[in-house]
Amino acid sequence: MQNKPIGVFDSGVGGLTCVKELRKLLPNEDIIYFGDTGRVPYGNRSNQTINKYARQDADFLISKNVKAIIAACGTVSSVATSLGDSLNVFYTGVLKPTAKAAVKATKNGKIAVIGTTATIKSGSYEREIMSIHPEINIITQDCPLFVPLVENGFVDNNNQITRLTVEHYLKNIKLSGADTLILGCTHYPIIKHIIRDYMGDNVTLIDSGSATAEYCAGYLSDNNMLNNKESAGTAEFYVSDTTEGFSMLAGLFLNEKVSNNVYHIDIGALAAKK
């Protein structure tokens, strides 16, 4: 069990923010990543479709004999809440680790949450935060254009389209006085620099991918599940659409060339065979 890989899945490239942090925290661990790039984004799908996709994604990682699964996707974590109940390996979404980090960070008791439309409509972050600290004041905003902007590479700090979109979505949050902002989708940290420029240095940004990686690392350590090999861990990447676009973006986010380790799979066909 110790030397099996960690599985991570997301609707696209956003979950790489979690992978990057995992590789910092656990350099000896092998990681298998699945990005459902052929069906991104999940955030505007029905709950039934999101649950179906999440199950298929998790089943693929199970077929790779992983010891743990991270749903590095705010939408899946918020909507497919029972996914982990039927898995025989450690499972976590981003919801609980991120909410805990935000409650710990806030000083004025005002926390803002941004996410996909499905995440915000679910009310999942409000429920999780309130279960930890009922006195917290919570402001939410869905940002449906952020994922396609990231997936299409509109991530440069000077990109005026992305900067204007950030201002459009976050104007009311900035006016609210919240001192903590949850980036409730793992795509969002990729444009964190633009969000920070707009919100200012007095607002703490909570990166859901980073918080979840720390949570998973702690669990594996506490349960004697860390890989005991001395060599550096490996990473394999699987996608449901073309490998070329993913390889380019992944290389930028991870600061290394990944094209030799990126493979295409037909997730729908694999699910049909099950």
Tokens of 5: 């890989």
DSSP string spanning 36-69?
A: -TTS---TTS-HHHHHHHHHHHHHHHHHTT-SEE
Which amino acid is it at 122? S
Strands annotated E in 25-118: 31-35, 68-71, 90-92, 110-115
End-to-end CA separation in angstroms for the chain: 24
Length of the chain: 274
What is the C-alpha separation between 137 and 208, in angstroms, rounded?
A: 19
**Sequence-ordered list of residues with C-beta below 8 angstroms from that of 200, at least 6 positions apart, any chain:** 174
Which amino acid is it at 181? L
What is the C-alpha separation between 96 and 124, in angstroms, rounded?
A: 10
In sequence order, the β-bridge partners of residue 264 are: 239
User: Do 52 and 73 contact (CB within 8 A), yes or no?
Assistant: no
Which amino acid is it at 8? V
Catalytically active residues, by annotation:
73, 185
Tokens of 159: 């990109």
| Cα 66–chain centre separation | 18
Tokens of 144: 């449906």
